[in-house]
Amino acid sequence: MIEPMPREIINWSILEEIIYMDEDDPDFSKRLASQFVVQADTTFAEISEELKTNKNLEELEKLGHFLKGSAAALGLQRIAWACERIQNLSRKVEKTFPTKEELLSTLPEGTQIFDIDMKIYDDLNNGTPPTTDGDELYLFLIKRALAQAYLEFQLARNELSVYYHDYLY
């Protein structure tokens, strides 16, 4: 049974603790957030590359785990959730992934998704699942989880950018 997707994009009680550290180290939290953005960009690219070329599940598990850790540390819980799916699908301890409709319905009311993000999301979600039970199925589902993670990443980045009044690269 897959644990349910958390609703809020950012778990503010976690992030607030980090923001609290800004008191004696100004911009500490923002620095971390920016680092995360860079790290996430890199990791997404690596996962995507892995899916295209080597298709090594072990490697994918590591990447998913890695990003999950940093996302969770910052309270970016929906990203963390999606990364955990990548991790678990790679370990083959999960064999399903919720539909995108189900996942989008968990977003807080009024969440705005930009066209470009939606397009990427839709494109990555394209295709029909392989009928075989081999690695192909897991790779297919991982790609969908990656789509979710990337969408969540954009949403989190938007929310963080609003918070910091600065666009995070």
| Sites of contact with other proteins (CB under 8 A) | 10, 12-19, 21, 25, 28, 31-32, 35-36, 39-42, 44-45, 48-49, 52, 62, 65-66, 68-70, 72-75, 80, 84, 109-112, 114-117, 119-120, 123-124, 150, 154, 157-159, 161-167, 169
Closest CB to other proteins among residues 11, 135: 11
Amino acid letter, 44: F
Output the CA angle 115-118-124, nearest 5 degrees: 140
Tell the smallest beta-carbon distance from residue 39 to other proteins (Å): 7
In which element (H, E) is residue 150 found? helix 135-164
Q: What's the start-to-end Cα distance of the chain, in Å?
A: 35
Helix-, strand-, coil-residue percentages of the chain, each rounded to 5: 65, 0, 35
Tell the smallest beta-carbon distance from residue 70 to other proteins (Å): 4
Closest CB to other proteins among residues 123, 133: 123
Tell the smallest beta-carbon distance from residue 60 to other proteins (Å): 13
Output the CA angle 97-151-126, nearest 5 degrees: 55
